[in-house]
Structure 1
Amino acid sequence: MQISFAPSAQSTLGIEWELALVESDTYALAPRGEELLTALGDAPPSPFRREYMRHMVEIVTGVHTTVAGAAAELQEHHRTLDAEAGARGLRLLAAGTHPFAKAAEQATTSGERYARIKERSRYWADRLVICGTHVHVGVDSSAKALPIVHGLAVYLPHLLALSASSPFWEGEDSGYASQRTMLFQQLPSAGLPPAVTTWDEYEAYFADHVEVGIMSQTNEIRWDVRPSPTFGTIENRVLDGIPTVREVAALAGLTQCITEWMSRQLDDGRLLPRLAPWFVRENKWRAARYGLDAHVVLPGRRLRELALRDSLNVLLEDLLPIAAELSCSEELSFVAEMAARGPSYERQRRVYARTGSVTAVAAAAVRECRAGTPDFDGLTPPAAGAQDVPA
């Protein structure tokens, strides 16, 4: 089965950002996504899309040559969505999981595609009360797609730990930086990319799944990082729901820089870094569990176990020249600030330690989302029209 890889300019990018709707007074999930999208319009080319759960809305950008351009569009659409939500007594929350919602009480969106997911995965489908962020980066050849997919898998722990925003699940601290990761990988087509290393093998992989009735479209391949043939991109899907536009931009910039670096390596006839699948899996689990405090196994002349924070600093330093060429130096520098001052999972736990309230955790995430930048110091005033529920 032949799968065409759409023409795409190298290192162009687009972003898909999933958000949850919550009540402005209680911060409980509000299953009113379809109502909101009816008002805004969700038929392509609308930037607003429905998602698996009724409380979710997704913002999708167009194609951009710079991270700044994509972030500006994302911010504009967020303002539109926030205003429409606010008029209905709703607020927006972007995080891998909602801090206290009960999964079994949430409703799924109508539609054949979502009904298939629910029927096939049953218990785990009912636990997909999760949000993610997807970053597409253009690649100029299908021959590069699978090598870059597996190359990026080496750096998934860095990307996952920085985006991790789901420590709380159903009102309790899960002990994980990214509980969303543990939930989503229960779907059989999700998780780490398997040992598919060439475009021919990718086509055969998809054909096999079509033949036995598991899939009918390539977007049903839900790997953490995957080719997106329709757009001619590599899609980074490992990221949790990222709370603010500024953090989305930072991790989009990091994804863009790594992908561009790997593309150039391939152009020069060099091999990309690879790890044995068992180490890729271990690294992903460690990042989901411990976030930036994880130690990970990395390739080199010999295998090395390094502190994730230390290896991130080395990676950012190596990417500085490419970031300058791609005009995302500012975004890349903010990655370092995020690591130093605390990704969302750390900020959420700080709020809980101070208040003892998961409602306060949700309220803080809502305020950050509206402000568009992380509140590292816990000083952002409550959003207008919203009030915290005391611990």
Structure 2
Amino acid sequence: MRSRQMQVDFAPSEQSTVGIEWELAIVDLASGELTPAAPTVLQACGGGEDAPIRKEYLQDMVEIVSGVHRTVAAAVEDVAHHLREVQRVAAPLGLGVVGAGTHPFSPASAQPRFEGPRYDVVAERTGYWGRRMAICGTHVHVGIDHKDKALPVTTGLARFYPYLLAITCSSPFWEGEDTGYASQRTMLFQQLPTNGLPYPMSRWTEFEAYAEELLECGMISVPGEIRWDVRPSPRFGTVENRTGDAVPTLAELACVAALTQCFAEHVSRTYSRDQTYESLPPWLVRENKWRAARYGLDAHVITPNRLRREVPLREGLAQWLERLTPVARDLGCEDELRFAAELSAHGASYERQRAAGGPQEALRLLLDETGRRTPFRR
């Protein structure tokens, strides 16, 4: 007899609170190469498993994690404070940190990982692709006040994938080569099991059934190992946007956090009003994801409107920024949201890196920009 379906408890949180996870690469300033200095940096910073400064899969990365905040500005200031601590420790060691989806030229397979049962399982399971995961992302958590909203907001955020990705694209170079993509990280990250786009689900029981089947098949050991690009995070009572590359500047970090918060609140309000939300066919979401990864802000987004099937991403973004402005005003992130228009006009990180020259010049730019309030204008 089949046992009762697995129960995945969702701990509701205050609606539209925000938290940020910012992954950063560590580089040797003399050579510019990635360097496995995370153990030294973490020890000097007092970092640890549940500390604001944490280790990641590879020893050339650290992750800075904010607390839970009501405003984007407070969350960004939280991570900025901890970034300053990392930089204070790193500088005397001849180290720098970089906020980008990929390092422009260091070979990925040369980077050592942390040891441990959880990481050993990941390494064995992912094989070749796991050895290519020298990538860094920006993750934004938005609070959800009832589990019935979690999957509608997850699906709703996935609909806006091209906008959430395009403003963060920062990985045009990979192992010394211009890939032609705005976000090489996106193409790499989706190779891992349980990663990629969320499956379209609307009821929490569907997610529980999915998690149970993955558990029975040995694909996961806990629901947190479901690593969709946008996913519910039951432990924290949030929906987590994992679409973005790591970004170098605080303004870009605030911008993707604000856009995520506003889109999530938009979907939540719609669902609370009439128990509906807008979604797109999975094929369309997948194609828009690829277009944003390939072309960044220059992509053309497919829409469900048969009278106009494609819209320039910059145009669509401008329309959504106008539509979301009242939501941003309510949430206190109007200035942070508006910065997306600045990026659209003056260049996201992938554009600035290419304009700087080749991979070496891109790295110098990233080192100079990481932790700055705003990017250098092209």
Alignment map for 1:137-286 (pairs within 5 Å): 137-269=142-274, 271-286=276-291
- SS at the partner of 1:65? coil
- SS at the partner of 2:11? coil
Give the direction of change, closer, same or farther, for the CA distance of 1:303–1:117 in structure 2 (3 Å limit): farther
- Output the amino acid matched with 1:253: A
TM-score (norm 2): 0.96
- Output the amino acid matched with 2:97: L
Superposition deviation, residue 312 in structure 1 = 0.4
Unaligned runs of 5+ in 2: 1-5
Count of residue pairs brought into register by the alignment: 373
Q: State yes or no: 1:344 paired with 2:368.
A: no
- Output the amino acid matched with 2:63: E
Q: Does the 8 Å contact 1:93/1:365 carry over to 2? A: yes
CA distance in 1, matches of 2:291, 2:312: 11
- Output the amino acid matched with 1:85: A
Superposition deviation, residue 156 in structure 1 = 0.5
CA distance in 2, matches of 1:290, 1:334: 20
Q: State yes or no: 1:371 paired with 2:372.
A: yes
Match of 1:327 among 325, 332, 336: 332
CA distance in 2, matches of 1:302, 1:8: 40
Superposition deviation, residue 302 in structure 1 = 6.3
CA distance in 2, matches of 1:44, 1:30: 21
The aligned residue for residue 43 of structure 2 is: 38
The aligned residue for residue 359 of structure 1 is: 360
Superposition deviation, residue 300 in structure 1 = 4.6
CA RMSD of aligned residues (A): 1.2
CA distance in 2, matches of 1:81, 1:273: 41
Match of 1:19 among 11, 16, 24: 24
- Output the amino acid matched with 2:15: Q
Superposition deviation, residue 200 in structure 1 = 0.2
Match of 1:127 among 128, 132, 137: 132
Q: Does the 8 Å contact 1:26/1:359 carry over to 2? A: no
- SS at the partner of 1:49? strand
Q: Does the 8 Å contact 2:80/2:371 carry over to 1? A: no
Q: Does the 8 Å contact 1:154/1:298 carry over to 2? A: no
CA distance in 2, matches of 1:42, 1:116: 23
The worse-fitting range, judged by mean Cα deviation, of 366-375 and 96-105 is 366-375
Once the two structures are superposed, what CA deviation does each residue of 1:16-72 show, in whole Å capped at 9, x if it has no partner? 000000011221111110111122222354201100111000000000000010011
CA distance in 2, matches of 1:113, 1:197: 30
- Output the amino acid matched with 2:314: R
- Output the amino acid matched with 2:320: L
- SS at the partner of 2:301? strand
CA distance in 2, matches of 1:319, 1:144: 19
- Give me the identity figure in percent: 52
The worse-fitting range, judged by mean Cα deviation, of 204-213 and 364-373 is 364-373
Superposition deviation, residue 371 in structure 1 = 2.3
The worse-fitting range, judged by mean Cα deviation, of 66-75 and 194-203 is 194-203
CA distance in 1, matches of 2:121, 2:81: 34
CA distance in 2, matches of 1:100, 1:15: 27
TM-score (norm 1): 0.93
- SS at the partner of 1:316? helix
Superposition deviation, residue 303 in structure 1 = 6.7
CA distance in 1, matches of 2:244, 2:207: 23
CA distance in 1, matches of 2:339, 2:253: 11
- Output the amino acid matched with 2:39: E
